[in-house]
Structure 1
Amino acid sequence: MSTRVTEGQQQWDAERPVALNRILFGPPGTGKTFATVEAALEVLTPDFLAANRENRAVLKMRFDELVAEGRVRFVTFHQSFSYEDFVEGLRAITDEDSGQIRYEVADGVFKSLCEAAAVKITQQAEAPIDLGGRRIWKMSLGNTLGSDASIYEECITGGYVLLGYGNAIDFSGCRSREEVYQRFSRAGHTLANPNTDYALTSVTVFVTRMKVGDLLVVSDGNLKFRAIGEITGDYAFKPRKDFVEDYSQSRSVKWLRTYEPSLPYGELMNNQFSQMTLYELRPGVIDMRKLQALLNTQQRDVQNGFFVGQRFGQGYIVQRVSADVVEFEKPRGGRLPLPISLVRQLLQYTQTGQISVEDIRQGRVFEKVAEAELEKYIVNGYQSLFAALVEQLQKPSETAPAKDARVLIIDEINRGNVSRIFGELITLIEDSKRAGAAEALSVVLPYSKERFSVPDNVYLIGTMNTADRSLAGLDIALRRRFTFQEMPSRPELLDGVRVEGVNIGQLLRVMNQRIEVLLDRDHCLGHAYFMEMRDQPAKCNLAQLAFIFRQKILPLLQEYFFEDWERISWVLNDQNAQAGVQPFVRAPAQEKSLAALFGSEVAGKLRDLRWELNEAAFESIASYRNILGAAG
């Protein structure tokens, strides 16, 4: 499906639904990439776009802010662009401990955007308003693929962090690196080089440099992070039975945000994480504006009808939501985990007419449904809360929040090998195959072996230069999954621009009419090449017109017509130039004749195809007036 923007028509129609996948197509210079700014704003901030449609500078500023926030990503397809760049691939990493090369899966631009769009805040607490003066630390909590993978969940559940270094040594009371070193020595641990030993360094940082109020970012490998917390307690020794020599160093933490799946590092960092277990994230490495946005976010991710931050009854606040449990902060402190299955069973009883919500509220469930296999003391102990939860599931649309949409702009989408770049995901981008749709599909990715689906809040906006490849020749799989919006040349935008009496809009219109006859409409000349002359009156002169023709128009015509100078001259109407008017293309004046080069017999069989550009024509307004011909 394709649409065409015509004269007098608003480029973006606020009444029409926004397509998840669309391509802006047209000849060079028609403003396709320029238009992606408004296309992205139409998705992300439609009210802002409507209020500032005529102020390009303000729109571009807002667009740049969204790019900085990671809500808009931009990529250009080319012949070397691959699946590994777009979805995922393997990247060589040097292990900082062993110095050995190892390979880890690195997410491509599309996968990382999808994961950021699909992420759920599984736990949330009120964050500090002022981040100034707080140190921010990166810390690893176990290895997701290692024997200590359980450490992360333990820390999140317990409200603390555990350091894997330090063996089973109590460092309480240590105030310096030297004191920490002495504790190692007294415990019988010999450090080869106390000045560089990382175990000594990490324990010293954890015990002596971390302070209450500092923030903590928990990494997930080098390319993702999965939690943000605030240090709330001093160092404490926590001996363990399961890890006798490890994870005995502890600090209490208030978890401000936990994410599932983990977020790409670009949502917070300017660079990827180091492998070091614990180190300070200094300004320039971490983007403080992104951190502030993450901690102040008002987005609410719905799962099973509930979202973090939601309030019920007399002050029960949802703190964590998973597929099986919804966990509340109780009005007087403490946590209350409730199984989702129990809430849904009560909902089913109301749907079959066995009980009403009021029966739940008044504690009459077991009177009405004697055979109910429910935890009686839990249901009756929190009857008002369960009644509110069932009401919530009966009316999910009333509280379902707007989703945090993301936009991927793919410039020159037709220049890449679409089948090779998208791979199996070409099916998943269809509206009906997106996550949450009735016909949703997912695939197992080849490198990470993770199951992957495309969220329904990821929008793809492509641009396509029809001079490179016509719409008819586009990959059929791509054509079926995108809507197409034509961006034609619009000479009417230039009708008010005149240079010494020559109407620039009419000049462009006439050249394009000739190109359509000699070639096709896919190779017309775009109005964008001349827009500076309209928008900046100081550039509306012959010198600027000559610059545009010399640097942009003639090279494009050479490419279009494969150096067929005769046809180029026809586009410029040189064949009808009157005496005294300089043609743009002419036969070389100083070259030898064909007879002199080949002899008269051969010369009679040849057609002289030698041409050259006439520099004098670019500086003569009469030459441009001649392009108009009878239309002038």
Structure 2
Amino acid sequence: MWVNEVLMARYCGDRNSELLIANARRFKETCLVQGKSLFTNEVVWTGENCNELIINFVNKPDAGNGDFFEKLETQLVTTSANAKVLAAEMLWLMFLCPSNTGPESKRVSIERVFAWSGLQMTPALKDEYLSDHSLTGIGSAGTAYNTGRWRELVYLMRFTAAFLKLNKQEKIDLLSDHLRFSEWLEQLPENESRQLRHMLLFLFFPDFNERIFGNTDRCSILVSLTDITKSQYNKMKCRERDAALLTLRQKFEQKFDTAEIDYYAEPLSTIWKNAGTDAVSHVKESKEDYIVSKQSAISLNQILYGPPGTGKTYHTINEALAIVDPESLQGNLSRAELKSKFDLFVLSGQIVFTTFHQSFSYEDFVEGLRAESENGQLNYKVESGIFKQICERANEGVTETDDPFDQALTIFTDALASHDGLMTLKTITGKEFEVEYSGGSTLLVYPKSNKLLKQGYSASLTLVRQLYRTGSKKGIYNPSYVDGVLRYLKSDCGLKNYLSQSPHSPVKPFVLIIDEINRGNISNIFGELITLIERSKRAGGIESLTVKLPYSKEPFSVPSNLHIIGTMNTADKSLAQVDIALRRRFEFVEMMPKHELLEGIVIDGIDVAKMLKTINQRIELLYDREHTIGHSFFLPLKDDKSIGRLARIFELEILPLLEEYFFEDWERVGQVLGDHFKKANPELKFIKEKFTGTDTEPSVSELMGKDWAQDGIRPYKRNIAVFTNSEAYIGIYDSPQK
């Protein structure tokens, strides 16, 4: 069997895979074939124990408060001791590959779950399988592997339940054939989207599978280095992608005449990452795809994306002014003056700013129904959303301040105010009615022929505008009164007859800024209009399209003078996870931290630019570049170069962000801040252990007694004292090993 084969380590660049692969082979034989435990002498890998986990974890999801392990403990409280051991060993298997979680954090988590069983680990087995070397990992897992850890555990439980139903020879045969095993996995729910699927194949068949666990890199490599397009990649099964990666690696092995080939090691890492930088702009989906633009050229649809604090929302002001008033950026105007100009354009309606969020809907963005009570009856009226309103304004090509209808409306509302909010008008047949206006878009009408009417009829100003533009009373509620108001605007308020904009006349550009665009459900918010925002599909385009809106039944198209600027925080969602329909229709402008903007800020010997650069380099190694920290967090230090201000930034902004990034993996947070270099000066660490027996706090033994085992519990806390100690900050970038 495979356990007796000569063990060959798979080349993994600067990481040694020998022990990892050896442990994986022992796991296959000990656990999956023999059913024995890794940590005890019990038989725990059985269908009966796994069924307990299925019943209590898979079939009873906990959507309440609490972290993953708090919920897991509650869910497994009624399971047997061996089932709890099985859960701990499943976590061990899940933790083998990821290198972006530290060995100490992994070990604490495994021991915490194992402790629920009340059993004791065999010391020799604990030393063998829970050592730092065993838990170091072999490659970075994607963000979703940690945030969706419960999904990966569900997948593993389902895998185990299905595998343990096989007889011994079937198990051995399956674990000896990487193609059969890969095909067999396809029966499992969510197999195509689980990162653990890739990890199992690498662990069990390292010669045929790559240590690439996140879908982003797998896609980037194949799209950048082969003729596979993004669209084709999305249609491939995982095993087809595996085969393509294997074929590609074998070609590189021949090209470089070595078997020491790995996609994360030189020379391949430079090849595909550099190719990926250029290739992203021409990744094909059918005949087009999204573009990542590093140019400042103005486009109709663009998204500024990057980590938090890189000035995305700040730069939307400049981007918008470059569209509506480019001359303002040619002079030497201050930031305050530019912001003042921006505010004037917002006031006129030429620039509209909105923010997407989880509850933002199509009805808010395009149009929806609003319930109104009139004369005791409930009526539903169509109300335009933000996008439809600015499209209508852009179609006219004039702002609110230049719009003759709005100018006449201002005169009308002033006249109403001078008559205590009530005026007498006439219909086209000469019937008198009183009009009352109390704000908003609705007028209340009281026909003088109906003295008993208490509530009044409604006449919408939106419908008055519609009648002015179209001349048609079709679909207009209370048309005689709406027409009466329009006639008054023309006769007494200076409103001239409507003249549509000539297609050849210059029109003003309009800008819609959507902050946090990736926080909304794009497909729900844009609906059928996502297609219409493409340049060629807009009004006047070579393939212009018009749709009928679902509520108003009006024809609708997107004008070519409307620019859409979005911002996207990659810490919330990476570019690869963005809706493909959105990516195809926008240019993406990357905005990364600019440490050079902090050059010259030195506080008590602390080089702030160098400090932030070092922090971000470590984050990129331990997590990814999408979760780095932006320079704008530290810009207040330009005006207030005090250690107190820096301490406030670190305590209230930087540390909470790092804790969120690393899911309170305090070991990793400390590594980002250079705490691992401060063993000789532990008082300079930003993160320190609790209950160490100092003058200010008791030790663990004092609290729990000497016989209490500290399995799975390792409390940490912030070291508040170092926030005002300059040496602690200098130690972030000026370590002894540099």
TM category (shorter chain) comes to 0.5 to 0.7
| Contact 1:117-1:404 within 8 A present in 2 as well | yes
Whether the aligned pair in 2 keeps the contact of 1:89 and 1:105 (CA below 8 Å) is yes
Does structure 1 retain, via aligned residues, the 8 Å contact 2:397–2:509? no
- Partner of residue 325, structure 1: none
* Larger RCO of the pair (alpha carbons < 8 Å, separation 6+): 1
Are residue 619 (structure 1) and residue 724 (structure 2) matched?
A: yes
Partner amino acid, structure 2, of 1:302: S
Which of 548, 565, 568 pairs up with 2:669? 568
**Residue aligned with 1:221, SS:** helix
Equivalence for 1:553: 654
CA distance in 2, matches of 1:163, 1:130: 19
- Give 1:99-114 correspondences, 5 Å limit: 99-114=376-391
Q: Distance in 2 between matches of 1:22 and 1:248?
A: 41
Q: CA deviation at 1:629?
A: 2.5
Alignment of 1:241-256 (within 5 A): 252=491, 256=495
Report what 2:616 is aligned to: 512
2:195 equivalent to 1:93: no
* Change in CA separation of 1:66 and 1:530 when aligned onto 2, cut-off 3 Å: same
Cα distance per residue 1:471-492 (max 9 Å; x no partner): 0111111000000000000011
**Deviation digits for residues 414-457 of structure 1, max 9, x if unmatched?**
11111111110010001110000010011111111111100001
Q: Give the corresponding residue for 1:27.
A: 307
The structure with the largest helix share of the pair is 2
2:394 aligned with 1:117, yes or no? yes
Q: Give the Cα separation in 2 of the matches to 1:500 and 1:168.
A: 79
| Percent identity (aligned) | 42
Moved more, 574-583 or 562-571: 574-583
Give the structure 2 partner of residue 463 of structure 1: 567
> 2:427 is matched with which residue?
163
Q: 3-state SS of the aligned residue for 2:596?
A: helix
Q: 1:471 to 1:595 in 2, by over 3 A?
A: farther
1:582 aligns with 2:684: yes
* CA–CA distance in structure 2, aligned partners of residues 3 and 576 of structure 1: 38
Residues 119, 259 of structure 1: 8 Å contact kept: no
Amino acid at match of 1:221: L
| Cα shift at 1:125 | 12
- 2:336 matched residue in structure 1: 57
Q: Secondary structure at the match of 2:387?
A: helix
TM-score by length of 1: 0.57
TM superposition shift of 1:402: 2.7
Q: Partners in 1 of 2:732 and 2:699 — Cα distance?
A: 29
Q: 1:99 to 1:547 in 2, by over 3 A?
A: same
| Superposition map of 1:394-409 within 5 A | 400-409=504-513
Q: CA deviation at 1:93?
A: 1.5
Q: Choose the corresponding residue for 1:302, options 502, 524, 546.
A: 502
Structure 1 SS opposite 2:618:
helix
2:733 — aligned with what?
A: 628
Q: 1:437 to 1:51 in 2, by over 3 A?
A: same
Question: Counterpart amino acid of 1:621?
Answer: S
In structure 1, give the amino acid aligned to 2:684.
Q
- Report deviation, 1:593: 2.6
Task: Return closer, same or farther for 1:4/1:116 CA change in 2, 3 Å cut-off.
Answer: closer
What's the CA shift for 1:167? 3.7
Q: Write out per-residue CA displacement over residues 346-405 of structure 1, whole angstroms, 9 at most, x where no aligned residue.
A: xxxxxxxxxxxxxxxxxxxxxxxxxxxxxxxxxxxxxxxxxxxxxxxxxxxxxx443211
Alignment partners' CA distance in 2, 1:247 and 1:135: 15
Mapping of residues 115-264 of structure 1, within 5 Å:
115-119=392-396, 136-137=414-415, 162-163=426-427, 167=431, 191-192=451-452, 219-221=461-463, 226=468, 252=491, 256-259=495-498
How high is the TM-score relative to the length of structure 2?
0.50
Cα displacement (A) at 1:104: 0.5
Query: Are the equivalent residues in 2 in contact too, given 1:163–1:249 (CA < 8 A)?
Result: no
Pairwise CA RMSD of aligned residues? 3.9
The verdict on how the C-alpha distance between 1:566 and 1:131 changes in structure 2, with shifts beyond 3 A counting, is closer
In structure 2, what is the equivalent of residue 343 of structure 1? Answer: none
d(CA) in 2 for partners of 1:254, 1:223:
14
Q: 8 Å contact 1:23–1:484 — kept in the other structure?
A: yes
Cα distance in 2 for partners of 1:527, 1:125 equals 42
Match of 1:593 in 2: 700
Superposed CA deviations along residues 167-198 of structure 1, whole A, max 9, x for unmatched, are 499xxxxxxxxxxxxxx8xxxx78459xx897
What SS class does the counterpart of residue 544 from structure 1 fall into? helix
> After superposition, what is the alpha-carbon deviation per residue over 1:207-254, rounded to whole angstroms, capped at 9, x for unaligned?
xxxxxxxxxx99343887847xxxxxxxxxxxxxxx9xx979987458
- Give the match's secondary structure for 1:256: coil
In the alignment of these two chains, the number of paired residues is: 404
- Compute the displacement of 1:583 (Å): 1.3
1:574–1:51 Cα change, 3 Å: same
Residue aligned with 1:462, SS:
strand
Q: Which has more strand, going by share of residues?
A: 1
Structure 1: tracts of 5 or more residues without a match: 6-11, 140-160, 170-183, 203-216, 228-242, 262-300, 304-399
Q: Which residue of 2 aligns with 1:38?
A: 318
- What residue identity is the alignment partner of 2:300? L
Query: How far apart are the structure 2 equivalents of 1:220 and 1:494?
Result: 50
